[in-house]
Chains A and B, each alone.
Chain A
């Protein structure tokens, strides 16, 4: 596979061999010599770098992945803890209460209308 620099996307794209040997669209101000090497810069592991601030907020997905991938036997709908339990219990209470209320309402609706 041969590559060329695309002037539209400003990225390398695939091309035929002829185009690769006659490159076009290269920026004129490309330095001819590589920049001097800098030694002694302290290396930081990615996890120590902290959350990367980006357009509109911080990426919390890695933290959430850590929370949701812990092996604790808790099903996915309760994994987040208290807020999940609150929502689940509210929904379950409405389910059971609503079903009973529905049966009562249908029972009374089934009674003949005696006037």
Chain B
């Protein structure tokens, strides 16, 4: 390798932007074909290609960072800014759903009976499973911090145990939410209450699943000795994301489950 006189990462030519773009084409066209002709072949093809692209692209980033040492401090700074901007965009994504919820609930239209929750809607009791879910997510925030400190202190065993505990708490939350959806006395088709409730909590649930996957990848990397006590940005990004998901839940709980009932 030629000696470089700067700390930045000059990436190798990569096929993944191309395969990812084609995956997006197949996925969107596949959805249209599914809706119009009831055939899921193209959509499935797009999903498989998307999964293959994600797997190999992120695998390459681990190779560049952990095995090739390209993630120097200035490169890590860029990664940090990137993750911060990404989470900021996610904040605004959820802000839209809260806007829709408050728009509908603060001045309920006559069609809803002029009240919130709308006439005929029996909301979920916020002090049953939703309160347990709040406790589960807050506890997972504690265990992820325990994992972070374990990594910084070089406590390998504790880091693995606390990270496993965090992921299990994430799965427990998803399980409880699935039960709650199954038992709910209203559906997504039950007017603006149902749509705002299921779109907001549904996207949050999707983010919990993504966060759990992100943490599971970190657990695998921790087991394989990828993280050092000084350099473990992959884990930190996952922890930031997990805290973000946690905070969104607190707002959902207070607004939709508690105030909204």
Contact = CB atoms under 8 A, between A and B. Distances in A.
Interface string A78-112: 01000000011011101100110110011001000
B66 A90 contact: no
Contacts of A22: none
Contacts of A91: 15, 19, 49, 52-53, 56
Contact of A75 (B12, B25, B29): B12
B36 interface: yes
Contacts of A56: 160, 223
Interface string A11-25: 000000000000000
B67 A68 contact: yes
Q: Size band of the B side of the interface? A: 35 or more
A61 interface: yes
A65 interface: yes
Contacts of B4: none
A101 B42 contact: yes
Given A55-B156, A92-B19, A106 B29 contact: yes
Nearest to B66: A61
A43 B157 CA distance: 29
Nearest to B33: A105
Interface residues of A, number: 32
Contacts of B18: 95
Contacts of A76: 12, 14, 60, 63-64, 68
Q: Specify which of A67, A98, A105 lies most central, judged by the most chain B CB atoms within 10 Å of its CB.
A: A98
Interface string B53-80: 1001000100110111100000000000
Contacts of A67: 67
Interface of A is mostly: helix
Interface of B is mostly: helix
A68 B22 CA distance: 28
A61 B16 contact: no
Contacts of B206: none
Contacts of A79: 63
B157 A64 contact: no
Contacts of A87: 52, 56
Interface string B6-26: 000000111110110011011
Interface string B169-202: 0000000000000000000000000000000000
A102 B29 CA distance: 7
A60 interface: yes
Nearest to B57: A77
Nearest to B45: A98
A84 B156 CA distance: 30
Contact of B19 (A9, A54, A65, A95): A95
A91 B18 CA distance: 11
Nearest to A71: B1
Given A76-B14, A94-B45, 13 more contacts: A54-B225, A55-B160, A57-B224, A69-B69, A76-B64, A91-B53, A92-B15, A98-B26, A102-B29, A102-B42, A105-B29, A105-B42, A109-B37
